[in-house]
Amino acid sequence: MTDSYLYNGQSSDDHVSSCPDCSAAIALLDEPETAVRPPAPLREAVLSMARRRRSPAVTPVATVAAPYAEQVALMDDLLSELSLPDWEAPVAKHGTIRGLVEHLAANDATVATFMGVPREDVAASAAPLHRRWREQAGSLLQRVSTGNAVLLDVEVTLAGPSPVPVRAPLRQALVQRTFETWTHADDIRTATDRSRAAPRPEHVRMIAEFGLALLPRAMNLRGPRRDVSVTIVLTGPGGGTWTIPLSPASDHVGVLLSADAVDFCRLLANRWLPGCFPYAAEGDPALARDLVRAAATLGCD
């Protein structure tokens, strides 16, 4: 403040001496060690919003990092809302929500370790599980965001229960991280009586394309290679049409299968049982059934 500043005819010094609010503010500036830390919920809300809005500088990197950042932020918000009893709510395949988040953190570590993020023993650490998961995901996003597009083509191991590890470019691994984080957030929403939420349409399309790229391998693991192509038509937000050869010798389309795009992504996560999955098919009905069964094996559980 300057001596020439007047407030209702008072000098700055006179005003400060008579105003409790200004006196308190200046005391905080003069003695920063007396400053009060913001409440934890406020800090978490600000950090969560910052993570959601942060976009990497390199466009190709942002294309795959931004969807993951968004799902991490949504999961972060969701976990912040959970009560202590919620963490022990039952979840299929992973026992409880706590077990599910431990599983998610372990699968994230597959890529995080490749990116140089120190792998923490999730089960042994004394830090809260939510914080450990979030810090690892945040470090992974930071490393990816400061990288370049060339790094996206480097092969890494995908997460999943396959007996033979599947390797794919880092760009696909990041889409898988988006896919799994969304899937498990929906698992938590279901377990705590919340409504499920679909990703943005453009992110639904990325997840669908990720699964479709793995579909020929999944089909071959189920039986003899078929010398046909399949056409997949996904409807609704994020949909599109893809024709996928099941072998290099594919010379005709054996089946056209149509389904909702978000439902198809949930099938990929095995959140639709193959026998209950709603779809329409033209062509070979047995091939259509095999496609649906193979697609349901591509999740990360």
Residues in CB range of 182: below 8 A, 6 or more apart = 71, 74, 199, 203, 207
Residue 223 pLDDT grade (very low, low, confident, very high; cuts 50, 70, 90): confident
Q: What is the pLDDT of residue 187?
A: 98
Burial bucket for residue 288 (CB in 10 Å: 0-12, 13-18, 19+): buried
Q: Is the Cβ–Cβ distance between 227 and 251 less than 8 Å? A: yes
Q: How confident is the model at residue 120 (pLDDT cuts 50, 70, 90)?
A: low
Range 90-104 average pLDDT:
96
Contact 61, 152 (CB under 8 A): yes
Strand partners, 282: 256
| pLDDT at residue number 243 | 97
Q: Which is more confident, 117 or 28?
A: 117
- By percentage, how much of the chain surpasses pLDDT 90? 67
| Amino acid occupying residue 59 | T
pLDDT score of 38 more than 80 = no
- pTM of this structure: 0.80
**Would you state the pLDDT for residue 250?**
86
List pLDDT tens digits, range 247-263. Answer: 988 889 999 999 999 99
- pLDDT of 8 above 80: no
The residue-averaged pLDDT of 172-189 equals 98
CA distance 82 to 88: 10
pLDDT reported for residue 76: 97
* Residue tagged 């290679």 (tokens): 225
Assess whether pLDDT exceeds 90 at residue 32.
no
3-class SS string, 99-167:
HHHHHHHHHHHHHHHHCCCCCCCCCCCCCCHHHHHHHHHHHHHHHHHCCCHHHHHCEEECCCCCCCCCE
Q: How confident is the model at residue 170 (pLDDT cuts 50, 70, 90)?
A: very high
pLDDT reported for residue 5:
38
Provide mean pLDDT across the span 76-87: 97
Give, as one character, the DSSP assignment of residue 294.
H
Q: What average pLDDT does the segment 172-191 reach?
A: 98
CA-based nearest residue to 168, from 205, 203, 210, 139: 210
Q: Which residue has the higher pLDDT, 30 or 96?
A: 96
